[in-house]
Structure 1
């Protein structure tokens, strides 16, 4: 497996600089091989290649960690049930993927790379199919929007209730969400912002600074009573209940969502672990969840919250990027660490934790955007 992992990473280096052409070639080949597959995808394919490549990159980097590789692919197989993927589709995808890799890599491609990708994809498809087959849940859940609250022009907090079937998730996980009224067959991932509950109610924090399709609809167009679709929960940024270490949580912007869920779960059982939450944004107005965090602080003596603004000199709190603030309060070597936010914020915070020599198994993170 080590040799396959090395070959996958070497060969990926030949194509990663031309991801757009790789994605375009893959989908063109896929729909030529099986035109009926086109109806499983959104009308507009913008961004679809990015999600394909994210999955490939994750698989490549977990192939030499059998446990993570297995769980990621089984989860991916369960998640792909929402697209109505059938077992026979995996072979077609494999042919299209290999053809795209060969074409974009050009003369740098060789037989060893080809065989490594064939073997890896065979393992990937078997594990994904097994994950789908073992899932007793529906392919997706219908959910009714209950509340919708705007915070400024580009942020919203909404709640919805899963209908018909219970949806089981763990604090810190995310689900893929579709707004069929406005953008059918377009799915985007959002962290669940509350701990599991008996009412089947999920909370989401959404920000759309641009014209993002799903996020834009969730912020500006969705109203109470509208129906959404939710796919199976995924993600491993969850609590280790067996750990006795204190906890550091770092959130940037709507990266607060999974951090809030983790704190809510801790509130149901924690008595001995100190929990330190650092919450950052550019402007004070962007700290939409601060009041709710402060209510939790008032109720739980083991919890502290430190807020910071990077571009608001009038803010009555910490100044600077949240990663720099975390560094000033460290070291965090003996903590379980959870980090959630933009790719830039996560990268800078991970560097702080690395300089504190926090062991990697004690760090879990979720990035909203490319890392």
Structure 2
């Protein structure tokens, strides 16, 4: 299999932009209309995801150690869409038809064979991972909402009790679905460490065009049921082997997974000091400050610093979260979560300031788990 030919051909196809996923899904649904029910009513975001996922796969096609875990996670996670092994050939045929259409005379028998072989391997890894996961866990859990608090304009903190034991680590995320927006799944981070009562917290902010976030903030009520996919991600997790103290830098509802890390340290015993910088544009967006301040008052190892960047009347620490964090950095492991823009800017500033790359932790795939992405 000529991996460079795969990369070069995909690069050519990707130049056609939105026309690529549009053609792919048209081919898939026309030839296999039963697959349409696997996708949300609106396909706008789904089209973006297809291009992103294919780009990631092709870019790493020659790095098997990195690609296989990604594909296995996709296979496990796609169980919640009721994807089964029989769907993979249909997707493969639509993919090859799409490549042939956009490559035109560059689509040779040798290239077609390489793509067919590559897709076959991808499908096999995903299907095997899904089969293995089915032996030990359901495609999703159900969680009854037992608390829904509107903490600020467009921000809600939701607590749900799951129907079965749910194994996850602080710093991880899960995709959520809600009956008001069927077949739409979005990732959110857990805002707490695992509890004995099997409850989980999510911090949800409404975003422009975010149909699920709007439904969760404005429409969800006690007694409603969420579907919760399997936990994913390990970039924001810590273990006993994680060295030293922690410096946590949160932007908006990116606070959620970092708050879960604080709880983990609290439950495991204060073996390390934790500095948590919570960034917001104005004081009204410091939606969890009361609870965080109480935790800091009860635990001397925890230092919480709210930082407000766009409110000239705020009497506390003013400035961007990364500026405040750099003042507090003294060799700690740094964990960053927020919007994509915030994470990229913060990580860049940290590295420019001399923080070693191996001490900067952030989630590259969905950098802001508290938003629809």
Q: Tell me the TM-score normalised to structure 2 length.
A: 0.89
Partner of 1:157: 157
Decide which moves more: 361-370 or 269-278.
361-370
Instruction: State the 1:255 CA deviation.
Output: 0.5
Alignment pair present for 1:353 and 2:338:
no
Alignment pair present for 1:257 and 2:256:
yes
The CA distance in 1 between the partners of 2:12 and 2:285, in whole Å, is 41
Decide which moves more: 287-296 or 223-232.
287-296
Distance 1:344 1:108, change over 3 A: farther
Pick aligned residue for 2:189 from 170, 178, 191 = 191
Count of matched residue positions in the alignment of Structure 1 and Structure 2: 365
Query: What does residue range 83-94 of structure 1 map to in structure 2 within 5 Å?
Result: 83-94=81-92
Partner of 2:311: 312
Report SS of the residue matched to 1:206. strand
Instruction: State the 1:316 CA deviation.
Output: 2.1
Partner of 1:142: 142
Instruction: State the 1:186 CA deviation.
Output: 1.1
Pick aligned residue for 1:13 from 11, 14, 23 = 11
Query: What does residue range 2-151 of structure 1 map to in structure 2 within 5 Å?
Result: 4=3, 7-104=5-102, 114=112, 117-135=115-133, 136-151=136-151
Q: What are the superposed Cα offsets for residues 237-286 of structure 1, whole Å, 9 maximum, x if unpaired?
A: 21132122222211100101111111111111143322221111111100
Alignment pair present for 1:342 and 2:339:
yes
Instruction: State the 1:305 CA deviation.
Output: 1.8
Report SS of the residue matched to 1:134. helix
The CA distance in 2 between the partners of 1:15 and 1:314, in whole Å, is 52
Please, which runs of 5 or more residues in structure 1 have no aligned partner?
Answer: none
Partner of 2:268: 269
Instruction: State the 1:105 CA deviation.
Output: 5.1
Partner of 1:210: 208
Distance 1:172 1:61, change over 3 A: farther
The CA distance in 2 between the partners of 1:8 and 1:335, in whole Å, is 41
Q: What are the superposed Cα offsets for residues 111-145 of structure 1, whole Å, 9 maximum, x if unpaired?
A: 77655544443332222112111112111112111
Greater RCO structure (CA 8 Å; 6+ sep): 2
Work out whether residues 244 and 273 of structure 1, in 8 Å CA contact, stay in contact via their aligned partners in 2. no
Work out whether residues 29 and 96 of structure 1, in 8 Å CA contact, stay in contact via their aligned partners in 2. yes
Decide which moves more: 339-348 or 243-252.
243-252
Instruction: State the 1:26 CA deviation.
Output: 1.4
Report SS of the residue matched to 1:44. coil
- CA RMSD for the aligned pairs? 2.5
Q: Tell me the TM-score normalised to structure 1 length.
A: 0.89
Distance 1:125 1:320, change over 3 A: same
Distance 1:287 1:115, change over 3 A: farther
Instruction: State the 1:292 CA deviation.
Output: 1.8
